[in-house]
Amino acid sequence: MGTRLRIHKLTTKKQASDACAYLVCKQIIDKPSSVLGFATGGTMEPVYKSLVAEYKQRKLSFAESVAFSLDEYVGLAPEHPQSFAYYLQKRLYQHIDIPKQSIYFPKGDIATDDIAQQYQQNLDKYGPIDIQLLGIGVNAHIAFNEPGSDFNSLCRLVQLSTSTLTSNAKYFESNTMQASKGITMGIGSILKAKHIVLLAVGQSKAEAIRDMICNEQSLSCPASALQSHPNVDVLLDKDAASLLS
Ligand code: F6R
């Protein structure tokens, strides 16, 4: 059982995402030279909005921090509007004072096994990550670690599952080709972080959340790997928590 996971049941999506942004603010205040791990996806959009607002209001500084993206679509250049590099640039990096050279992301357009290995080497050089934000897939993936992924896996290229392709189709315009492969931090890479914050909102995540928290660890539920980590906060809105007793 995932007894070590700290579960926070909040009422609204806004409360859950504000709580997530607060934990990043706290981290950067406590340690300005923090190594930060950022996720993308719909869940994280209000988090970055809230983080940017807090940054401006509290006059925080990310000048000494280093940031790493969790994953990227293979084939998409950082300038591609559906790339995760573009997402983080537009929603976060361009609004804060983090130096350009302190932002790391895997380049999807040149992604190879070697690039994935280099990304892992950079993570190991600057890491461990002080705070890693995570969303969760409806199939309980974390980053692009689909069901069946090894819990010791490191950065690598992966084939996206049908479930992920279906869930993410909404982010691609109908006339653009949807990427079917990813370059991702592995589960083992994620577990090296000192503090992990997983945010889930909405009914569509309720089953994945129940399986992650209530079931035994299993390769069929990648997020259950987090049960082995000593410092995980799980932030949920009412709908995502609806299958927890
Ligand atoms: C994104 C990522 C994914 C998403 C997950 C949830 O960087 O690694 O694991 O966190 O697919 O996506 P949304 O929030 O769009 O439901």
CA of 167 to the centre of ligand 1 (A): 9
pLDDT at 160: 93
Rounded Cα–Cα distance for residues 17 and 54 (Å): 13
Reported as a single tens digit per residue, the pLDDT across 34-71 is 999 999 999 999 999 999 999 999 999 999 999 999 99
Q: What is the mean pLDDT of the chain?
A: 96
**Atom 9 (ligand 1): residue with closest C-alpha?**
143
Catalytic residues: 71, 139, 141, 146
pLDDT at 1: 47
pLDDT at 174: 67
**Atom 4 (ligand 1): residue with closest C-alpha?**
135
Instruction: Tell me the C-alpha to C-alpha distance, in Å, between residue 64 and each of 103, 112, 210.
Output: 11, 30, 38
Reported as a single tens digit per residue, the pLDDT across 101-113 is 999 999 999 999 9
CA of 58 to the centre of ligand 1 (A): 28
Reported as a single tens digit per residue, the pLDDT across 164-216 is 888 888 888 766 778 899 999 999 999 999 999 999 999 999 999 999 999 99
- Name residue, tokens 């996720």: 39
Q: Provide the terminal-to-terminal Cα distance of the chain, rounded to the nearest Å.
A: 14
Q: Are the CB atoms for 114 and 134 separated by under 8 Å?
A: no
Global confidence as pTM: 0.97
Structure tokens at 62: 């990310």
- Name residue, tokens 């927890």: 244
Query: H or E element: which one contains 26?
Result: helix 13-30
Q: Determine the average pLDDT of the residues in 156-168.
A: 92
Q: Are the CB atoms for 212 and 2 separated by under 8 Å?
A: yes
Q: Are the CB atoms for 167 and 146 separated by under 8 Å?
A: no
HEC secondary structure over 153-202: CCCEEEECCHHHHHHHHHHCCCCCCCCCEEEECCHHHHHCCCCEEEEECC
**Residue 3: pLDDT band with limits 50, 70, 90:** low
Is the model's pLDDT at 149 over the cut of 60? yes
pLDDT at 139: 97
pLDDT at 171: 83
